[in-house]
Structure 1
Amino acid sequence: MGTSWPVGLDTIYGGATVVAERVTELSNGMFKITTFPAGELFPGLEVLQNVSQGTVECGHTALYYYVGLDPAWGIATALPFGLTAQQQNSWLYHGGGEAAINKLGQNFGVICFAAGNTGAQMGGWFRREINTVSDLQGLKMRIPGLGAQVMQRLGVVTQTLPGGEIFQALSTGAVDAAEWVGAYDDEKLGLPDAADFYYSPGWWEPGPSLHVVINLDAWNKLPKEYQSFMRVAAWESNMNMLAKYDALNNDALDRIVTKGKKLKVYSNEILNAAQKAAFELYAENEAKSAAFKEIFPSWNAFRQKIQRWHQTNELPFNLFVRDNPI
C-alpha cells in the first residue's frame, strides 16, 4: 500500500495502518498489507496512477488530488461548500456515492472504499491578514483539488504540495498561505511557526473522505472473505480517523492560540464570492466531464436534502449550546 502521507502525521497515515492491521487481525494473520509513506515508493500525489498501473496493489490517498485526470474525482473527497463528514458518509453509504465513485474507478482499473475523514478542515495559514477578495489577488497558496480551482478564480496563484513540503514553502515565503488539515496535523507540520493568521472554515473541505484505492485486477483475485475484510477494515478506519481528529484538535488549537497566533474567520465577501465561483465551476465541469455530469446532479440533490434536514434539527441545537454555555 503506497500512501500520500508522511509517517510523522500519525492520524492521517494511521488511516492506512488501521486498514492493514485490521485486515491482518480479521484474517488471523493470513492476509497482510505493508504500508509505505509518501515518497518511499513514488511521490505522494501519484498514488492513483501507480495503483491503476499495478505498481502496487493498493493505496491510501485523497482522490481530489487527481482532478487533473477527471474532475469527478473531486466529488469522492469533497467539493467546496459541499458535505460535512456526517453528510459525506451518508451520501457514500446510503446515497449512492460509493457506487458512483466506483463506476468512475472502473475507467482507471481501481475500486475505492472510504477509509478516513478529517472532519471539517481549517481554512489555512496566512502570512498576512485577508479581508476582501482584492486581498487575494496574486497571493500564492498551497491548496489542492477543486478548492484550488475556486481560489484561482478569486485571483490566487495555487500550488499542490505534499504535506512534508508545506512548512519549507510557507516559512521561506515561497507561498504566502497554505492549508493542510486542522490544528493537530498543522501543529505537527510546524505551520504555526511559519505564519501568524489561522483562518476558518475550510469551505473547500467541509468533510473530506480519504480512500483505500485497490487495483481492480488484484481485487478480483482476492477470496470473497478477504474482500469482506478489506471493506470492514476501511469502514473502521473511516470511523476511527474522524473520531480521533475530533479528540485531538481541541488541545492542539489551545496550544496554537497560547502561542499568540490569531484565529480569523473568512469574511462573508470572500465566502460569497467563493461559493458563487464554485458552482460556476461545477457547471463547467458538467460540460466537459461525462463522469462529473453523471454524478454531480444526484450528489447536489442529496446535498440540498440533507442540509435542509440538518438545518432543521442539528443547527438549532448547536446554535443554542454555543450561545448559552454552561
Structure 2
Amino acid sequence: MRLDHDLLIAGGGPAGLATALYAVRAGLRPVVLEPRAAPADKACGEGLMPGAVRALTALDVAVPGLPIEGVHYVQGAHRVRAAFRAGPGRGVRRTVLHAALHEAVLAAGVPIVSARVDEVRADATGVTVLGPDLRGRWLAAADGLHSPTARAFGLRIEDPRPARYGLRRHFAVAPGSPAVEVHYGTFGEAYLTPLGPDLTGVALLTSRRASFDEQLGGYPALAERFPSQLAVTAVRGAGPLRQRMRRRVAAGGRVLFVGDAAGYVDALTGEGIALALAGAAALVDSLRRGRPQDYERSWSRATRRHRLLTECLVAARRNPLTASRIVPAATRLPVVFGAVVNALA
C-alpha cells in the first residue's frame, strides 16, 4: 500500500499539534486527525510554565495571555512564594492556546483531517488507521488522558490508589497577584491562574467526588472571593488523573504515544503542556533518526525530573502525617522551595 504521509497523528490537542510542528521542522510529512472543531476546550489549570513558553516561542507559536511571575503556596496561615528565575510563564485560556497552535499548524501546511481514528493496523512497513482510511510510516497517538489507542493495544495499567480529579471554572474576578496561587485544602488543592485584567481561572484538584461549589466551599476564603454569580463559564472536569502505561512504543516501533496518552502522574505541579512539548520533541527526534525504539528512553529522560517530583508531592499529599506540613515546611526552607519550583518550571 502507498504511504499517504510519514506520520499520522491521532489527536489535535496541544500534544498532537506540537508533534506536527516538530515533524515539519524535521522534514517529515505529518497529518493530524481530530474529530473536534477548533478551538477545543478542556479542564486545565491554564498556567504555562517558563519552559513551555520558551518551547512554544521556538516553534514560532505566539503565546498570548498574562505574564506569570511565579507561584504562591498557601496553607492556613502559612504562605510562601517562589519567583521564576528563567523568565515569566503565561496565564492563557486553553481555547486561546489551542487556537494559536491550530493556526500555526495550518500555516506550516499540515493538513488537519476532521476524523476519528476507529482502528489502527500496523505491519512491518507502516500503519493504517481506519475511519479516515489513511496510511503512514508511523502513528503518534496523542488522543488524551483516556487514550483509546492505548486501551486498544492493552498498554494501560490499572492503578489501585485513590483517584484524583480536576475541575475548572472561570470567574469575572481580577487576579489577586501576578502569580499562580496554590491553596492547600483538606481534600486537595485550588489553583488560581491570572488570565486577564478581570478574569481568574479556578482549578480544583481533589480526591473527593462532589460538585464544584461543594469543593470550593472547602476553601471558605476562596468561596467568598469567587461566588457562583461571578462565574462566566461552565464547570469542566477531568479524571481520574493518574494514568500508567506499560510502555510508550508499540507495534514494533510503528505506534508511539505522546502527551497525556503517554501516561500521566498528576496535575499538581502544572506541567502538562511543558511535558507534552518535551515528549513531542523527543518523539519526532527518534523518527528523524529512524530509531523509533529510542523514544521510550528519550521520553523517560525528558520527563524524569517532573515525574519524580510530582510523585513525591502526591505521596506527601496523601499521607496524613505530611499533608498538613507541606507549605509550613516550604516556609521554613524557602531556598529549597524556590529550587523545586524552578526545577519544575
* Short-chain TM bin: under 0.3
Greater RCO, 1 or 2 (C-alpha within 8 Å, sep 6+): 1
Q: TM-score, normalised by structure 2?
A: 0.24
Hey, which of these two has a bigger chunk of strand by percent? 2
Structure with a larger share of its residues in helix? 1
With structure 1 as the length reference, what TM-score do the two structures score?
0.25
